[in-house]
């Protein structure tokens, strides 16, 4: 068997269901944990970030308006596609995080399971955090969770795939659309996730993946007037403070960096509820007759 | 105004409440002077009479109050939930017993009609304490984990439009969850919060659990920036809310903000017109429109515009403006000279931009701060009065043709606190309610509140919810 030269992949952004290069034309070198060249990833610009916001906004109506059952089906489909591409992700995660093949496989399997876990949440969260309120008056009144809108997600820097999915899946499971800034040093699993989403049934624009310098991409997202919320998981302390200040301009919901020791632990519903609003709808109940029983 | 609706005066007696000539800060269970000896006067907006002189808290006082609250936190948070519950039940009962005093006091200090303080504010205040009292010993069942923990010291800043109700919204859940509080009431309405200190005394509440610091914006800023405050809760303007969000950035301080609004009240052509008119009036003229969730933009379907406006104007002509202590008064005084000038300048701007103002014939008292109920027609979405929160008795009327257009116009605002829908068609209510980006949607009713119901905004109307199970989350480490 002769040595075959492998065909390398050109990694591209995933925005609005398409795979553009950065409009800036820039790339940066991505290496494995030992410094060996892996790929040239797109280095997104402020313009790329703004384009992603436009795509995410455009997708919001359809995605948030889809039934929870439908969103669950779509998300489960993503898990199916991830399973099929497991080998690729094991390879990428091993390279990105310097893990052995078996450790990387554990990470990838945990990631797929995490995605399945969130897929099952789409049609349950409303029952867990919403419900009828026993008001003291002749009114029917119901509180329901609704997606916050367009959410910027700074993916964790260290956990390139499990961490990534742990912050992206809850955002879209609840009907938000997302602009995801991949781990700066290890963006390749995130960019490949874009390919999986594109071949699943997730509508274009629901998830948009940008790679590059986290601080550079995050700044315009944090100050963008059409972004409703931001998850600062991938920001260090100094950057997180700056971004939180910028986010105050339109009172974005801010999820501050949380201390996470172990992404493999069962996450709980905090990341689902972080990007939900509560709407309370009232209506008079009326009465069936002027006289007679009030029952 | 001579008409068939002239009523004999029916004033509530102000002798039911004793107002001291001066009040101190309430810190660690005692009334004390401000460290720098500063005081300010609080006046009755309907007469400009000075009601009392109140100590003005400075940063040194903030520090003292936070220390007192921190010290009290240890014991208060360690109390069995059932004991905390009983304190809150006591407070609720005392408020019920003294609600007539409190209603008169609130009307004197705020300028709102006694009808509203007596029938809306006070019953809701008591209800909030009753509701959260019952949560204090059931927190492990609230859905926030097996043993949710309090955050610590809550710094709370509240506005002047519902002084006692906002106090209840802030203090009841904070105490139920085991936090201690330092609360700053607004500079124009400090009296009911200071009266509340006496309610705490009667209830035997441990020292330092509740501290009250009257003062101006700088007092609030010092409280919110205090490094030993673990939780910040604010109700007020969006501009100040943004400042607070910047102040707490990069800290672990948890924050909830209840901010401004520009609520749309949408009336479809099949709406019950009489009920809708009542709802519109209630939506914008309740508390002189000084309500963050006021229905300040009326969106009326074009085909019924004339009929609705005729009916609305007829109804406005029957509103009685005057002495807030008169039980027949519908429209009281504007809370302050400053607020009156803000309303006046926005209304002038509305007219200058081409909208057409209309007010019923209305005689304004010669002293105090007054503004006649006003509605603007010929308003477009670009007009300042359709975009900026006026926080006064001023209604902007816009029209629409289709439900989609109504939703688009309703959502065309930086705010997202409230909305109203008037139609007899149930499916339309649900479809429209679904699409509105607002934290509370009233269908075929308006301005209904209940302690069991989460309340709070989307977008720039702030974040977090007050009321209900949701209201606990803001005060728990979850």
- Answer yes or no: are the C-beta atoms of B125 and B95 closer than 8 Å: yes
Q: What is the pLDDT of residues A198-235, one digit of tens each?
A: 999 999 999 999 999 999 999 999 999 999 999 999 99
CA B410 – CA B435 distance, rounded (Å): 10
The C-alpha angle with vertex B235 and arms to B466 and B324, in degrees rounded to 5, equals 100
Is B344 at the interface with chain A, CB within 8 A?
A: no
Residues of A in contact with B462 (CB under 8 A): 251
What residue in A sits closest to B431 (Cα-Cα)?
Answer: A65
- Answer yes or no: are the C-beta atoms of B471 and B464 closer than 8 Å: no
Percent of chain B with pLDDT over 90: 98
Smallest CA-to-CA distance from B223 within B237, B210, B213, B235 is with: B213
Average pLDDT, chain B: 97
Q: Would you say residue B64 has pLDDT above 50?
A: yes
Q: Would you say residue A277 has pLDDT above 80?
A: yes
pLDDT at position A289: 57
Q: Would you say residue A294 has pLDDT above 60?
A: no
Q: Choose the catalytic residue: B292, B389, B460, B466.
A: B292
pLDDT, average across residues B12-38: 97
Burial (0-12, 13-18, 19+ Cβ within 10 Å), A20: middle
CA B158 – CA B168 distance, rounded (Å): 10
Q: What is the pLDDT of residues B400-447, one digit of tens each?
A: 999 999 999 999 999 999 999 999 999 999 999 999 999 999 999 999
CA distance to A156, A233, A255, A256, per residue, from A259 (Å)? 11, 9, 12, 10
Chain A and chain B share a number of CB contacts under 8 A equal to: 104
State the residue for tokens 């995130």. A190
Give which of A251, A253, A267, A272 to mutate to test B binding, by max B Cβ within 10 Å: A251
B293 is catalytic: no
Q: How far is B456 from chain A (nearest CA, A)?
A: 8
Chain A residues at the B interface, defined by Cβ less than 8 Å, are 128-129, 133-137, 139, 141, 143, 148, 228, 237, 240-241, 244-245, 247-251, 253-254, 256, 270, 277-284
Query: B245, A129: Cβ pair inside 8 Å?
Result: no
- Answer yes or no: are the C-beta atoms of A282 and B438 closer than 8 Å: no
Q: What is the pLDDT of residues B335-372, one digit of tens each?
A: 999 999 999 999 999 999 999 999 999 999 999 999 99
- In chain B, residues 172-191 whose CB comes closer than 8 Å to chain A: none
pLDDT, average across residues B206-225: 98
Please give, one letter per residue, the 3-state secondary structure of A161-230.
CHHHHHHHHHHHHCCCEEEEECCCCCCHHHHHHHHHHHCCCCCCCCEEEECCCHHHHHHHHHHCCCCCEE
Q: Which of B243, B439, B452 sits opposite A133 (nearest CB)?
A: B452
Residues of A in contact with B252 (CB under 8 A): 256
pLDDT at position A223: 98
pLDDT at position B413: 98
**0.90 surpassed by pTM:** yes
Q: Would you say residue A290 has pLDDT above 80?
A: no
pLDDT at position B4: 62
Q: Would you say residue B465 has pLDDT above 50?
A: yes
pLDDT band with cut points at 50, 70 and 90 for residue A288: low
Residue A30 DSSP label? E
Residues of A in contact with B238 (CB under 8 A): 251
State the residue for tokens 């992949």. A9
- In chain B, residues 234-253 whose CB comes closer than 8 Å to chain A: 238, 241-243, 245-246, 249-250, 252
Query: A141, B450: Cβ pair inside 8 Å?
Result: yes
pLDDT at position A116: 98
Q: What is the pLDDT of residues A237-251, one digit of tens each?
A: 999 999 999 999 999
Q: Which of A129, A240, A284 sits opposite B250 (nearest CB)?
A: A240
Q: Would you say residue A49 has pLDDT above 70?
A: yes
Residues of B in contact with A135 (CB under 8 A): 448, 450, 452-453
Is B362 at the interface with chain A, CB within 8 A?
A: no
pLDDT, average across residues A154-168: 98
Q: Choose the catalytic residue: B106, B258, B389, B466.
A: B258
CA B41 – CA B39 distance, rounded (Å): 7
pLDDT at position B169: 98
- Answer yes or no: are the C-beta atoms of B43 and B367 closer than 8 Å: no
Burial (0-12, 13-18, 19+ Cβ within 10 Å), A35: exposed
Q: Which of A253, A254, A278 sits opposite B454 (nearest CB)?
A: A278
Alpha helices (H) along chain A: 46-65, 68-84, 86-97, 101-119, 125-129, 162-173, 188-198, 214-223, 237-247, 270-273
- Answer yes or no: are the C-beta atoms of A162 and A111 closer than 8 Å: yes
B292 is catalytic: yes
Residue A278 DSSP label? E
- Answer yes or no: are the C-beta atoms of B250 and B187 closer than 8 Å: no
Residues of B in contact with A134 (CB under 8 A): 452
CA B99 – CA B93 distance, rounded (Å): 10
pLDDT band with cut points at 50, 70 and 90 for residue B478: confident
Residue B359, classed as helix, strand or coil, is coil
Q: What is the pLDDT of residues B135-154, one digit of tens each?
A: 999 999 999 999 999 999 99
Better-predicted residue by pLDDT, B478 or B299? B299
Beta strand residue intervals within B104-230, DSSP E: 153-157, 180-184, 210-212
pLDDT, average across residues A158-172: 98
Q: Would you say residue B381 has pLDDT above 80?
A: yes
Is B122 at the interface with chain A, CB within 8 A?
A: no
CA B73 – CA A18 distance, rounded (Å): 55
Q: Would you say residue B2 has pLDDT above 60?
A: no
pLDDT at position A295: 44
- Residue by residue, DSSP assigns B237-300 as -HHHHHHHHHHHTTS--EEEEE-----EEEE-TTS-HHHHHHHHHHHHHGGGG--TT---EEEE
- Answer yes or no: are the C-beta atoms of B173 and B130 closer than 8 Å: no
CA A172 to chain centroid: 6
What residue in A sits closest to B275 (Cα-Cα)?
Answer: A284
pLDDT at position A164: 98
């Amino acid at each position: 068997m002769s040595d075959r030269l492998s065909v390398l992949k050109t990694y591209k952004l995933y925005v609005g269901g398409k795979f553009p290069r950065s409009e800036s034309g820039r790339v940066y070198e991505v290496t494995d944990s030992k410094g060996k060249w892996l790929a040239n990833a797109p280095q997104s610009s402020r313009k790329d970030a703004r384009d992603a916001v436009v795509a995410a906004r455009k997708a919001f109506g359809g995605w948030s308006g889809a039934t929870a059952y439908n969103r669950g089906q779509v998300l489960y489909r993503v898990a199916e596609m991830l399973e099929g591409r497991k080998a690729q992700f094991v390879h990428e995660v091993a390279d990105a995080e310097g893990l052995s093949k078996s450790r990387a496989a554990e990470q990838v399997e945990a990631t797929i399971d995490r995605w399945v876990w969130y897929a099952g949440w789409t049609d349950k969260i409303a029952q867990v955090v919403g419900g009828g309120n026993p008001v003291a008056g002749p009114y029917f009144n119901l509180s329901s969770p609704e997606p916050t809108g367009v959410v910027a997600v700074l993916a964790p820097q260290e956990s390139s795939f499990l961490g990534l999915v742990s912050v992206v899946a809850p955002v879209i499971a609840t009907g938000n659309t997302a602009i995801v800034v991949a781990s700066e040093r290890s963006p390749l699993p995130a960019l490949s996730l874009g390919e999986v989403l594109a071949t699943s049934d997730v509508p274009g624009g629901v998830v948009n993946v940008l790679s590059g310098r986290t601080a550079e991409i995050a700044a315009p997202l944090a100050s963008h007037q059409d972004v409703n919320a931001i998850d600062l998981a991938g920001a260090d302390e100094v950057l997180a403070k700056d971004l939180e200040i910028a986010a105050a301009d339109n009172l974005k919901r801010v999820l501050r960096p949380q201390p996470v020791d172990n992404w493999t632990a069962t996450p709980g519903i905090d990341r689902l509820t972080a990007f939900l609003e509560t709407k309370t709808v009232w209506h008079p109940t009326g009465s069936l007759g002027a006289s007679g029983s009030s029952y | 105004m001579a008409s068939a609706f002239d009523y004999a005066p029916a004033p509530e007696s102000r002798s039911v409440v004793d107002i001291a000539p001066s009040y101190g800060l309430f810190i660690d269970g005692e009334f004390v002077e401000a460290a720098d000896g500063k005081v300010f006067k609080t006046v009755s907006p309907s007469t400009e009479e000075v009601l009392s002189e109140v100590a003005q808290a400075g940063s040194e006082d903030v520090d003292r109050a936070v220390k007192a609250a921190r010290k009290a936190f240890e014991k208060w948070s360690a109390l069995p939930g059932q004991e905390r519950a009983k304190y809150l039940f006591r407070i609720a009962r005392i408020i019920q017993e003294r609600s007539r005093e409190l209603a008169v006091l609130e009307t004197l200090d705020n300028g709102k009609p006694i009808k509203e303080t007596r029938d809306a504010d006070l019953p809701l205040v008591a209800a909030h304490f009753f509701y959260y009292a019952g949560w204090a010993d059931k927190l492990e069942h609230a859905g926030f984990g097996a043993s949710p923990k309090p955050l610590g010291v809550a710094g709370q800043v509240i506005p002047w439009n519902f002084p006692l109700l906002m106090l209840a919204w802030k203090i009841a859940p904070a105490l139920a969850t085991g936090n201690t509080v330092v609360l700053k009431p607004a500079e124009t309405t400090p009296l009911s919060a200071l009266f509340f200190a006496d309610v705490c005394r009667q209830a035997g509440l441990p020292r330092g659990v509740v501290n009250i610091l009257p003062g101006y914006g700088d007092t609030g800023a010092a409280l919110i920036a205090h490094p030993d405050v673990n939780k910040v809760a604010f109700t007020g303007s969006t501009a100040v809310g943004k400042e607070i969000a910047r102040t707490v950035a990069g800290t672990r301080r948890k924050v909830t903000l209840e901010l401004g609004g520009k609520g749309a009240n949408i009336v479809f052509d099949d709406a019950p017109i009489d009920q809708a008119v009542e709802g519109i009036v209630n939506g914008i003229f309740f508390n002189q429109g000084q309500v963050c969730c006021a229905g300040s933009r009326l969106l009326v379907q074009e085909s019924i515009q004339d009929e609705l406006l005729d009916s609305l104007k007829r109804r406005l002509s029957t509103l009685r403006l005057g002495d807030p202590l008169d039980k027949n008064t519908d429209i009281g005084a504007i809370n302050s000279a400053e607020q009156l000038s803000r309303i006046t300048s926005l209304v002038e701007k509305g007219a200058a931009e081409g909208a057409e103002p209309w007010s019923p014939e209305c005689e304004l008292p010669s002293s105090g701060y007054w503004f006649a109920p006003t509605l603007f027609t010929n308003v477009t979405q670009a007009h300042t009065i359709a975009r900026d929160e006026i926080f006064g008795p001023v209604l902007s009327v816009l029209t629409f043709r289709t439900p989609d257009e109504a939703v688009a116009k309703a959502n065309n605002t930086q705010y997202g606190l409230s909305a109203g829908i008037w139609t007899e068609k149930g499916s339309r209510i649900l479809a429209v309610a679904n699409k509105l980006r607002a934290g509370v949607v009233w269908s075929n009713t308006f301005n209904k509140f209940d302690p069991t119901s989460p309340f709070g905004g989307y977008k720039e109307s702030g974040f977090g919810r007050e009321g209900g199970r949701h209201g606990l989350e803001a005060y728990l480490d979850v």
